Amino acid sequence: MLLEDRGKELFREHGIDVPGGRRYSDPEELRSASLPLVLKALVPVGGRGKAGGVSKVTTSEDAVREAIRILSLEISGYRPQGLLAEEVLSIEREMYLSIVIDRSLGIPVLLAGAVGGVEVESLPPDVMGRWPIHPFLGVGEHLVREVGRSLSLRHVEEFGKMLRGLWELFIRTDCELVEVNPLVLTTEGRLVAADSKVVVNDDAIFRHPEIGGDLPVMDVLEAEARRERMSFVRLDGDIGVIANGAGLTMATLDEVDSQGGTLGGFLDLGGTDDPRKIRKAFELMSRSGVSVILVNIFGGITRCDTVAEGVLGAMDSLEVVPFIVARIRGVNEELARSMLESRGIRAHLDLGSAVSDAVSWRSSA
């Protein structure tokens, strides 16, 4: 998800009206700003208002004090990367508008409702109208008329411009979601996108170099894993799981949980048999501070001895070696087992027994 100011820049480039505003990182700079203003934390997650990340200020003292407060917040794990200070809109009413890929239909849908500024998930489903938009067809005039009518908007031309702008942004920038919540009709009759939520498809970032650098990262180790095309999620328990493939990783986590273990994180290697990547995975996992590493590989094509080589290489290069339990199946599994066991690593064929070994590490380590 892009930060709000970047999302709004894209909105503006696509002809969508947004409130006047600018980004600040130093609270003192707000002392000379013209007032009143709305201050908003720049974080790549929703639920910001509830967490105290939005504030309306009318005096310079307020502005500086509130800016300091907001910048020190942590919102769903994210520190604000600055503040967006915007003009205060004179609101006639608030609405909701978004385009999102519908997984069941396999094409985008437009969602629009006469209720804005609240979390969409909290609304009953019939409050929101849904219109599929075929990617080969785009936004037709009838759609503008129909959605405009459902929102009781009189200025259909202006709304059409906004809708077509949103669609163009959605398609051109490979978005999974573009959301305007709230969409504000001001007392002067302006139609303004008061907030922006733009989620660009990770897999398409390569063709949007202008956006790649804007993506905020939550965690240094997770970002490092992503650069190697591995997926790493950090948690705060004991056992770090390294597995190949998303489904197998999840099944391993479920097994750890059902045997009473706590998860310190998990790393999906994807479809790799590169010993260097396996070494990297171990390095990231041990730097994350887990006590046990449970490696579960179903090597259909991956050769198990290559995986074992990676594991042993990692042991040699790590400063602190956590307790390692391995479960490796596939080609050359017996060879891999004896390679690992010769270095004191417990190697299993069965997932259940490997997990049980990992969960009881305190007594066996």
Residues that bind other proteins (CB under 8 A): 101, 103-104, 106-108, 120-121, 134-136, 171, 174, 176, 201-204, 206-207, 229, 231, 233, 235, 243-251, 253-258, 263, 268, 270-271, 298, 300-301, 329-331, 350-352
Least Å from the CB of residue 63 to other proteins: 32
Give whichever of 152 and 201 is closer to other proteins, judged by the CB atom. 201
Residue tagged active-site, from 4, 86, 179, 255: 179
Q: Which residues contact 314 (CB under 8 A, 6 or more apart)?
A: 278, 279, 281, 282, 283
- Beta strand 37-41 with 83-87: parallel, antiparallel or unpaired? antiparallel
8 A C-beta contact, residue 185 and residue 153: yes
Give whichever of 215 and 235 is closer to other proteins, judged by the CB atom. 235
To the nearest 10 degrees (0 to 180), the angle between helices 156-172 and 141-150 is 120
Least Å from the CB of residue 350 to other proteins: 8
Other C-beta atoms lying within 10 Å of the C-beta of residue 287: 14
283 is catalytic: no
Least Å from the CB of residue 36 to other proteins: 33
**Dihedral, CA atoms, 227, 231, 237, 240, nearest 10 degrees?**
-90
3-state helix, strand, coil in the chain (%, to 5): 40, 25, 35
Give whichever of 71 and 253 is closer to other proteins, judged by the CB atom. 253
Give whichever of 69 and 138 is closer to other proteins, judged by the CB atom. 138
Q: What is the CA radius of gyration of the chain?
A: 25
Give whichever of 258 and 338 is closer to other proteins, judged by the CB atom. 258
Please report which helix (H) or strand (E) contains residue 211, including its range.
Answer: helix 209-212
Residue tagged active-site, from 96, 222, 255, 333: 96
8 A C-beta contact, residue 179 and residue 101: no
Least Å from the CB of residue 244 to other proteins: 5
| Whole-Å CA distances, 249 to 119, 264, 284 | 32, 13, 16
Give whichever of 196 and 272 is closer to other proteins, judged by the CB atom. 272
Please report which helix (H) or strand (E) contains residue 93, including its range.
Answer: strand 91-102
Least Å from the CB of residue 200 to other proteins: 10
Least Å from the CB of residue 353 to other proteins: 11
179 is catalytic: yes
Catalytic residue ranges? 96, 179
